[in-house]
Amino acid sequence: MLVLMFIFYQSNLFSQNQFSLSGRTIKNISTTSSNTIERGSSIKLIGMGVITNRATHERTPYYSLSVNSMTYAIEIKNIDKIEFDRPNTSSDAWAILAIKSGTYENLLNNGYQYDLRNQMDEENVDFIDLINKQDGFFYDPYLQDYLQRILIKIHPITLLDERPGNLNIQILKSDSPNSFCSTNGTIFITTSLLSVINSEDELYGVIAHEIAHFVFDHQIINLNKQINRAERAAFWSAFATVLAGATEAYLATEHEIYTGGALTLATAMSSVEISSAITERLGVKYSQDQELEADRAVIEVMKCLKRDTLAFSSALTKLYIPAHADPPFRTS
């Protein structure tokens, strides 16, 4: 029997995808080995992976459960038959939120798409290079360390799964209060947003919101929907040209005395056309459902961290939404 199972099935465990989430079953659950976990059983979610039928290549994603010292695998669709205990740590809170959102199911079904993620790393390098050339970053070691320490309290630097990327924060010079997170985990927060934040709890809410988009893989989901994408070099070259022209035009009209040549990245990016092009290119032009999913996640995580959830609502009112943008559009 073991030999036959080895021939026809290949089980791929993701070594980093290990959990320790306690809960109980609210319905009977059939396991992949045809056992039944009775309703009301105490369980611990300990991992996940994919069982691949080597004959048909059919993939069956599963979660691993520990029940009375026995380990079982259940199909991932049955996860809604488990009620998890209230998390004690933010890491556990994020894991439960990712499970409920279907993030892990999507990863197990579609794979990690490392080629796309590597391409987006290159896109992010181009974006950061452009900002550097325009002197668009605000550098303050104390402030960046402070923001990074808040970030670590909200979420570990790396994800629980095998997706690449490290969470970190960069500050953009801009007169538009805004924030967004790239596919590699870099969170960009503008100086204007930092200047209008009234409390640390508001800052927690803003950062947690961007982390939520990263945890739920919203950027990659959005990029998968883009059928036609311009070549990377061509796009960023064209963007640099448009950026320069838009900034020159703005400065020429807004200042009585202007000799040209002084480019302000933040000013040009306030343009609806430019900001829309960038957010779509980087996969951070989110749908209304994605924004609401991230908002709900913030509330749960802030409760776990014992932070004022109302502060996040206050912070949202300060974010910049371009005029004439569609209602679902929000770069944060």
Residue 308 lies in a domain: yes
Strand order of the β-sheet with 9-25 is: 70-75, 59-67, 42-53, 9-25, 82-84
Regarding whether 296 and 150 lie in a shared domain, the answer is yes
Express as a percent the part of the chain with pLDDT over 70.
79
Confirm whether 258 is domain-assigned: yes
Ranking 36-50, 90-104, 311-325 by mean pLDDT, the lowest is 311-325
Within a domain: residue 37? yes
Arithmetic mean of pLDDT, 188-204: 94
Which residues, at least 6 apart from 223, have a Cβ–Cβ distance to it below 8 Å? Answer: 116, 120, 183, 283
Question: Which pLDDT score, from 0 to 100, does residue 317 have?
Answer: 87
270 and 160 share one domain: yes
Q: 332 in a domain, yes or no?
A: no
Which of 2-11, 40-49, 154-163, 268-277 is least confident?
2-11
- Alpha carbon 197 to chain centroid, angstroms: 22
Instruction: Supply the Cα-derived Rg of the chain in whole angstroms.
Output: 23
310 shares a domain with 273 = yes
Name 71's bridge partners: 66
131 belongs to a structural domain: yes
Task: Locate 282 and state its tokens.
Answer: 């980087």
Tokens 């990690």 belong to residue: 112
Give Cα separations from 317 to 198, 288, 310, 321 (angstroms): 12, 16, 12, 10
| Alpha-helix runs per DSSP H in the chain | 2-8, 90-101, 103-110, 114-133, 141-154, 191-196, 200-215, 218-224, 232-254, 265-269, 272-281, 288-304, 310-316
Rounded to whole angstroms, the Cα distance separating 7 from 21 reads: 32
Token duo for residue 121: 């790393």
- 218 and 296 together in one domain: yes
**How many domains is the chain built from?**
2
Q: Identify how many contiguous H helices and E strands the chain contains and give both numbers.
A: 13, 10
Answer yes or no: is 154 within a domain: yes
What's residue 285's pLDDT? 86
Q: Are 133 and 223 contained in the same domain?
A: yes
* 123 and 223 housed in the same domain: yes
| Contacts for 251 with CB less than 8 Å, ≥ 6 apart | 258, 260, 262, 264, 267
73 & 123 share domain: no
- Tell me if 32 is assigned to some domain: yes
67: domain range?
A: 2-85
| 307 and 211 fall within a common domain | yes
pLDDT number for residue 51: 81
Token reading at 271: 């343009």
What are φ and ψ of residue 282, in 5° steps? -90, 0
Does the pLDDT of residue 225 top 50, yes or no? yes
pLDDT in tens, 109-162: 888 899 999 999 999 998 888 888 878 899 999 999 999 999 999 999 999 887
Residues 328, 246 contacting (CB under 8 angstroms): no
The pLDDT of residue 233: 74
Model confidence band, residue 309 (pLDDT cutoffs 50, 70, 90): very high
Please provide the average confidence, as pLDDT, over all residues in the chain: 82
225 with 164, same domain? yes
- Of the residues 70, 85, 100, which one is the last residue of a structural domain? 85
Do 178 and 68 reside in the same domain of the chain? Answer: no
CA atoms of 225 and 228, how far apart (whole Å): 9
User: Same structural domain for residues 47 and 133?
Assistant: no
**Rounded Cα distance, 282 and 222, in Å:** 9
Q: Are residues 29 and 147 in the same domain?
A: no
* Nearest of 127, 96, 178 to residue 282 by alpha carbon: 127
Asked whether residue 310 is assigned to any structural domain, the reply reads yes
